[in-house]
Chains A and B, each alone.
Chain A
């Protein structure tokens, strides 16, 4: 007592800083956890460590240059970012894209979705302790990177699309390799499932962890696989078709309970659906030009628009305002799916254990490059 009045400190809770340097926060995410024992009472998500001001930068680059800035946002799904951006500008300018370009874009986007899901499954499994799954997934992702390398020469930041079409046609024999990859990936999916889907420990670690109901998920702004895991069949590819998705057949998998396991199952099914889409697109790949009629100087008329596509993480939206006078956008805004999904983390982790926090960050599938931009 020592005469001075004691400050009443809370003996029950412990504040712990998870990140920004932590092995399983997938980059520089910082989660400040308030723990009671090992149970999370509350958490605060701190982001911005990777903020590079891509939006501001883009407002000072011209429309062609921005494509390669979008690569740097969700760097495990660069082609998807390219696609969303190019389509938004095309929408703003009223450009028509040739069908062949649309099909190739679809193939690239779906390959990218598989690659992104590979990274997700690998890291998610590794966070829960199954390291082998990580390396298996990286092995398959490597094949996709090879395909992209053959297509555009780059392995991570592809810069693979242009406003109005594509910079390159697919190389000869590439479609055969894509088909071969689809076969391999389909085989390996069985491996992943053998290691995880019916594994008792995996079930115990993911079932009923981070349950979020459909309406709650919509309210908090979840999109993509986490939203579908909660049983809401929302997929931009189906609801507001873009690229060639209106001509292709695929299913939108949904979960039942909205827990981590459902999100896992949804993404696993998306692997299969992506392969299905790629096969259809390869079968129906039309001949023709790969670039539409694009003016030499990209200078959209004054106006603004918002356009969203389904990235592997969720709804990736671009809002572009043009003042009609300049070759760079007046306002360039990205609606990053990871950012909006990450917002739900606080709601998800409450009442769970530290180990679940890791699993939940994994099940949301955030890429910090996209969260912070």
Chain B
């Protein structure tokens, strides 16, 4: 069996990232779109950690930690916006979110 190289992790990460991209592009439910973004962030993290291991550097993990922090912040604010939006429009369909003001 071939040894597992960073390339393997990169392929995995790329595929995961693509699934996220497709989710963002195809789905209209904004909550699912948010989750797709989380998938993409995870794909990046996998890459960072894989390289951190390859290069015997912890820096990659540090960056992954930062990404998780950013994801948390994004989720909090984004979901807050969704809630506020839902109160007014009673929808989470992104195609109906086409005005800046209502």
| A interface residues with partner B (beta carbon < 8 Å) | 1, 6, 11
Contacts and interface: CB of A to CB of B under 8 A. Distances in A.
B54 interface: no
B87 A11 contact: yes
B61 interface: no
B91 A1 contact: yes
A1 B87 contact: no
Contacts of A6: 90
A11 B91 CA distance: 12
A117 B86 CA distance: 50
Nearest to B96: A1
Contacts of A11: 86-87, 90
Most buried by A among B87, B90, B91, B96: B90
6 contacts: A1-B91, A1-B96, A6-B90, A11-B86, A11-B87, A11-B90
Contacts of B87: 11
Interface majority SS on B: helix, strand, loop or mixed?
A: helix
| Band of interface residues on B | under 10
A10 to B, nearest CB: 11
Contacts of B90: 6, 11
A11 B86 CA distance: 10
A1 B95 CA distance: 11
Interface in B61-102: 86-87, 90-91, 96
**Closest 6 interchain pairs by CB?**
A11-B87, A1-B96, A11-B90, A6-B90, A1-B91, A11-B86
Nearest to A1: B96
A6 B90 CA distance: 10
A23 to B, nearest CB: 33
B2 to A, nearest CB: 52
Contacts of A1: 91, 96
Nearest to B86: A11
A6 B89 CA distance: 11
A270 B87 CA distance: 51
A7 to B, nearest CB: 10
A280 to B, nearest CB: 64
A40 to B, nearest CB: 21
Contacts of B96: 1
A1 B96 CA distance: 9
B84 to A, nearest CB: 12
A318 to B, nearest CB: 55
Nearest to B93: A1
Nearest to A8: B90
B45 to A, nearest CB: 36
A6 B86 CA distance: 14
Interface string B1-34: 0000000000000000000000000000000000
A174 to B, nearest CB: 68
A254 B87 CA distance: 47
Nearest to B91: A1
A33 B53 CA distance: 58
A214 B96 CA distance: 54
A288 B90 CA distance: 79
Contacts of B91: 1
A6 B91 CA distance: 11
B10 to A, nearest CB: 43
A11 B96 CA distance: 19
A11 B85 CA distance: 13
